[in-house]
Amino acid sequence: MALEILMPALSPTMEEGTLAKWLVAEGDRVQSGDLLAEIETDKATMEFEAVDEGVIGKLLVAEGTANVKVNSAIAILLEEGDAADATASPPAQSTAAAAPAAAEKSTAHAPAPSAPNSAAPAAMISNDGTRIFASPLARRIAANQGLDLTQISGSGPKGRIVKADVSGVPAAAAASSAAAAPLAVAPGPAASLPSSANAASVEALYQGRSYKTVSLDGMRRVIADRLTEAKQTIPHFYLRRDIQLDNLLKLRSEMNAGLAARGVKLSVNDFIIKACAMALQSVPAANAVWAGDRVLQMEASDISVAVAIAGGLFTPVLLDADSKSLSKLAVEMKDLAARARSRKLAPHEYQGGSFSISNLGMMGIDNFDAVINPPQGAILAVGAGKKRPVVDADGTLSVATVMSVTMSVDHRVIDGALGAELLDAIVHNLEHPLCMLA
């Protein structure tokens, strides 16, 4: 039978994309893993792989087509024995209303979900509510052989069940595989939030005034939706502290002198990343994310760092930041930031994390309040370090380099006292930086 190849969801926030380039032509035979197309998402341009084998019967969407809805048909795959004229009837579904309908149809190809938030074509649901991902061919074979897909472990990307997993497998053998690896769970991206004002009503306010209309690209729309969602649904509260940096600046100068031969230069932000990562280990209950009906307490300290790029921002994630040296963090952060600015990050490099850092100190900002990056539990907004008069413990007046920080906290995940404990641990690490080298 002819199978539809649907527009994939290649990022957790993707609702539509641009089919930038076909890497196959009509009549080409493809195998699982072959590259089919390049898709421009809201974040980057990514390659789309085949899951099943067959012959490309018809390309339904032309190269360069923008605003192609996720789950709308973009091509037809012919299986062995299918007639070429089977490609004539299935139309491409490109409207928003077509996406839910397309999700109910058989799908020939879909990317492996790269994070818990990645969307995917609709699949079967197990008894415990877990979504089961299987290729259309695997589902058809399973139906013909009477196999229960809930009892089969997939060998495809991220646990997807493919033809090889069900071919020749007796039903009894399939039932015995219940203890196999868990299947991928992929809830869809959050629905777009309605705008508080439509374009016509706003433009009417400025009738007769000169202005330039700037269309929103995918990234800017996603940023708008996610930040609106965050402020409307997350109960933020804010904790503020001043941090004296003189010990840190002295240590940084000494370490950079020693690292110069290796071409490594530590920034204050590298120390902040390390301080936050170690603080999350000291206060493990605060190393947590919100999961709707539960809180997930993470073991490692995975730190997201906001990186400004043209038209938006990325938050690349430094995995296991608590166990990495300052020099390794510096090198890794430099690489992630450079690839973020050129939009070369893979989804797994900017998804996840339990804690974020947004540093505007290098732009002269004294202090600010940052918006939490869901599902994370907190974000630290970092201001500039400036010389200020301070009163020492003995009551004398002196001058110190002081940096103001504000931690935005999700009250569903972290209570006030726990948040204060976490921020105190961060402050201690930064004011006593040698402790981070022990």
Give catalytic residues, as residue numbers: 411
C-beta atoms surrounding 171 within 10 Å:
12
Q: Which long-range contacts (CB under 8 A, 24 or more apart) does 324-329 make?
A: 324/274, 326/255, 326/266, 326/270, 326/271, 326/274, 326/436, 326/437, 327/259, 327/262, 327/264, 327/266, 329/270, 329/273, 329/274
| DSSP symbol at 346 | -
Please give the Cα distance from 253 to 55 (Å, whole number).
Answer: 62
* CA angle in degrees (0–180, nearest 5) for 361-364-369: 55
Please give the Cα distance from 14 to 218 (Å, whole number).
Answer: 8
Give every CB contact of residue 71 below 8 A, 6+ residues apart in sequence.
6, 7, 9, 93, 98, 99, 100, 102, 103, 107, 121, 122
| DSSP symbol at 115 | S
Please give the Cα distance from 20 to 48 (Å, whole number).
Answer: 11
Return the structure tokens found at 393: 């413990």
Pairing of strands 16-22, 35-40: antiparallel
